[in-house]
Amino acid sequence: RFHGEGYQEGYAEGSHAGAAEGRRYGSLHGAKMGSEIGGYLGFALTWQCLLHECTDEKTSKKIRALDSLIGMIQKFPYEDPTYDKLQEDLEKIRGKFKQVCSMLNIRSDFRVSTERSSLTF
């Protein structure tokens, strides 16, 4: 009987501690992901505005790539943490961001520090 009661108490306490740890972990990594994607979106929107006036062929390719990146970010499922292709879509966004940076001849160096946010391009 004591063994069963101990097991039940331990299981309940472990479940509670595991849920709290999972919540902290999810909040931390969700914030990092949100910061990363937000940086990409701000970057893309800024460059889209800067290139808006140009009409040559090279610039139109860059604008199409920026539009594609913005579209990918807007379709990203922020509200659904159970989305099964979350990591795949995030990798596609990262790849598109690197492609855009390459087209614009900009170093793509994104870092998120736990001490303070730092974004360098």
The set of residues, in sequence order, having a beta carbon less than 8 Å from that of 47 and lying 6+ positions away, is 62, 66, 100, 104
Give the percent of the chain with pLDDT over 90. Answer: 33
Q: Is the dihedral of CA 28, 29, 30, 32 positive or negative?
A: positive
Tens of pLDDT, residue by residue over 38-95, are: 999 999 999 999 888 777 888 889 999 999 999 999 999 877 878 888 889 999 999 9
Beta strands 117-120 and 109-112, pairing class: antiparallel
CA 63 to mean position of chain CA atoms:
22
- Contact call for residues 78 and 30 (beta carbons, < 8 A): no
